[in-house]
Structure 1
């Protein structure tokens, strides 16, 4: 990496399980998000942004490494990145930029790898590796079963009088009946209840305040920073504090996106997922009418906090010097396509909202625009490195910098397809389908119109989003689409054969080695016939006898 003078700061905001179409600026007809919409007017809204896996952990590890799941190896929640896997934090550290976390990462440390190298997990290096290259100002992954190590948020709740063995669950993520009895927020039936803490003590405002505390402290530090503010909501448990709990109701729930044809002609993997417990429950209208208004309320709360945060930055003169990114790690089916959770590759799951504000004058021409360029989550890491004035290491990072798109100069060779992956070996689906562990792989290739899904051991899936934007008709077995299937299979085959795995050797070194024939220059003579040929080679590369 070529180090240059670092430039300014980056504020990278991520929501958990926020669908792309649940914002005002992306077309939701009821949910108003004026603060997020204002961010879109100051930057570029990318309308074709996709995650590299529709599951929290693998998706985030792709964001944090700038590499596809097949390359970094973290295929499921709790699967650690191996020690030595380069992260954004490693790249930024080389150019003097702090990479700081407030909120969620879903990162699990490679404790076995650390032990094998004799690195204590609580050492400086151990923490850096265990926290995915982040400096953990405040880490809170948002799911705290009783008996697990408690985050600082629990201590905060106790300090404010919310005592319990698990205050996160019993106060912030549960409701109360009229008689005061606890109504557990894990249960979908209680999603329409208000959380037992007021807005100010709930998770989203708490994380906003912690981010602002870091920013205020960083002003004295003086080093440039990349702050990853990673909100836990609107991920389940679906429960919101007032006034957000009662802000929306069943009348605000949009018509479900699904068809009977999907069930009648379902691909075996899709059929298995429709039969999962959370899919069966979220396909019930009663569940949608309880969950979705709360989901909307949680998003509205995030939007209000964006207003708080932007005013804070403006008061400190940081809006004009800070790149701001707003995105999500994946979506949420919410009963669409007879599904709950995320898992598969429909737009509701694999597509994400992405707003990028580049404060540079060079980006003025694109402010308030919508880009339909095909963008991947792994593009953010090289974008940040580029923005800080350094050269993204192209032998490691598999994403591409968005800076040219932000500054109105899209490269002629911009990607024509995006990829996403899914490994369902950890799910009941593997057992239901009697699949061997190593064959539980799904791969998505999307070219802006056709969405192709390779399912190991099964026929492919194929959707035409131009004629079937709701993705109701699977044409994977349609003979009329054989040419489309073959073309996208070829794209997948080419991608699969060219991972960036020589991460210890920069492309520049490889190019120089081949161009200068270093084996001659260093005195190693391979395959040369005689003195005449040797002299000709030396003359060609400028080496005197």
Structure 2
């Protein structure tokens, strides 16, 4: 348990590439508020998401458990419903105020109890069902035409998401000023922004920070540089984001939109942190910042998330406040599933966390050690599940039948050289394959079959493929009060 129980302000963004941070050494990304938070705390340099897509990542974040262990919440049509105990439940049951403001992406149907004392302005999946098209994962899966909207709409301006995030920040500022001082026990405020998730429309003052000569060209973007792997081909054929990048102007607009949204989100973080200090609660409050997953932002010709490269599966993670080393970097691998133990530790709740969830407070003060972190992907665009194991040095990615991938993150931090077919690393591959089977409790192919059987049941319960395809494609979930825009 932490030496002193305190309040905890947990700020979550959506789709923040872990490399897109000034404090992480990015050459042009401007994030002054997150940089300042890192300077007074600890930045976790090897943090990962349990699944590189919104709904599964948020379910695992809530429960502190990997997807395979829960046997559900595998994709964006299988949202968290409160059936598995969350850290929100644990804090509330112990008598603490645990309030959420903003995006949750849970099921959100009447009667669902997600565990919060209060949900303000919650954004849940559409109709309590979410992205039903993601359930169709065979070779006949329909092409997601909504992907073209990312390129078409990229540019300066305001979107439903930037307006929503401004409102989230305002609500958080009010809560910190009016409600936080009333609390008699350590409280937790979960402020969940939706940017820099696409649409790639950034307020002009932030978009203008990233002209073409600044953003340049993404890593390994030219066709001859891109890796050729069947999982990546499946993704590109089903969700063809890059196919809509017609020319250099489109590419530059998309990059300026993404990096501009990161700066916009950082601005909202700064507003909330300023309100925390103005409330007088700052000295008694720890602050945790993270994102649900990353964004490829054009690297290797991919956009959005949904693969196991660091841009997508990696996440930013910063912890600051009482008992947290300042101006520090922790290289111990960690995950969003560690938030469960962190919440218990920070607020002094005497409950055992799920197996494998470790407090970031403990990790921050323990010095760099090694751990094996798991991430899974079973969602839109994939024909097979993807399973990642990450240590400080190695990243191993396995599929039921596709070739395994292996990256030496010490020698090749940009993941440009896949060692999966290198006979000199056959022993390392075999060790990780055995480790993965032990972690999953079965062969990846058997788990893949279980997931697809659950997805087939959900598809049938929603009228089958014909009705689901007629429902249409929803490029992104609308915030509260905004009508869904189908394509």
The structure with more radius of gyration: 1
Matched, 1:400 2:358: yes
| Structure 1: distance between partners of 2:243 and 2:115 | 35
Higher relative contact order (CA 8 A, sep 6+): 2
Matched, 1:86 2:85: yes
Q: Is the 8 A contact 2:187 2:347 kept in 1?
A: no
1:379 pairs, out of 330, 338, 344, with 338
Q: CA deviation at 1:282?
A: 5.3
| Structure 2: distance between partners of 1:487 and 1:262 | 29
| Structure 1: distance between partners of 2:16 and 2:199 | 13
Give the secondary-structure state (helix, strand or coil) at the position aligned to 1:19: coil
Residues 210-254 of structure 1 show CA distances to partners (whole Å, capped at 9, x for unaligned) of: 011122223234343211100011101111223223332112214
Structure 2 unaligned segments of length 5 or more: list them. 129-147, 443-487
Alignment of 1:96-495 (within 5 A): 96-109=95-108, 121=110, 126-128=111-113, 131=114, 133=116, 135-140=118-123, 186-195=149-158, 202-215=163-176, 216-258=178-220, 263=226, 266-275=228-237, 276-281=239-244, 285-360=248-323, 363=324, 366-394=325-353, 396-406=354-364, 408-410=365-367, 415-424=370-379, 426-427=380-381, 429-430=382-383, 440-495=384-439
Residues 18-65 of structure 1 show CA distances to partners (whole Å, capped at 9, x for unaligned) of: 111111111111222221111001110110001110001111111111
| Structure 1: distance between partners of 2:397 and 2:288 | 29
| Structure 2: distance between partners of 1:83 and 1:203 | 24
Q: Is the 8 A contact 1:102 1:211 kept in 2?
A: yes
Q: Is the 8 A contact 2:59 2:80 kept in 1?
A: yes
Q: CA deviation at 1:262?
A: 5.7
| Structure 2: distance between partners of 1:282 and 1:132 | 42
Residues 243-270 of structure 1 show CA distances to partners (whole Å, capped at 9, x for unaligned) of: 223332112214321165665x622112
Structure 1 unaligned segments of length 5 or more: list them. 112-120, 150-184, 431-439, 499-545
Change (3 A) 1:397 1:294: same
| Structure 1: distance between partners of 2:159 and 2:13 | 22
Residues 340-384 of structure 1 show CA distances to partners (whole Å, capped at 9, x for unaligned) of: 211010011011111001323xx3xx2111111111111111011
Q: Is the 8 A contact 1:78 1:107 kept in 2?
A: no
Give the secondary-structure state (helix, strand or coil) at the position aligned to 2:410: coil
- The TM-score normalised by the length of structure 1 is 0.71
Q: Is the 8 A contact 2:150 2:241 kept in 1?
A: no
Residues 246-299 of structure 1 show CA distances to partners (whole Å, capped at 9, x for unaligned) of: 332112214321165665x62211222233311433596443201111222222
Residues 164-210 of structure 1 show CA distances to partners (whole Å, capped at 9, x for unaligned) of: xxxxxxxxxxxxxxxxxxxxx9452331232279x9x8232221110
| Structure 1: distance between partners of 2:357 and 2:243 | 36
Match of 1:28 in 2: 26
- Greater mean alpha carbon deviation, residues 484-493 or residues 248-257: 248-257
Residues 80-129 of structure 1 show CA distances to partners (whole Å, capped at 9, x for unaligned) of: 335531111111123211221111011114x6xxxxxxxxx3xxxx242x
Q: CA deviation at 1:13?
A: 0.4
| Structure 2: distance between partners of 1:5 and 1:23 | 30
Change (3 A) 1:91 1:341: same
| Structure 2: distance between partners of 1:479 and 1:283 | 40
CA RMSD of aligned residues (A): 2.9
Give the secondary-structure state (helix, strand or coil) at the position aligned to 2:377: strand
Give the secondary-structure state (helix, strand or coil) at the position aligned to 2:11: strand
Give the secondary-structure state (helix, strand or coil) at the position aligned to 1:469: coil
Match of 2:471 in 1: none
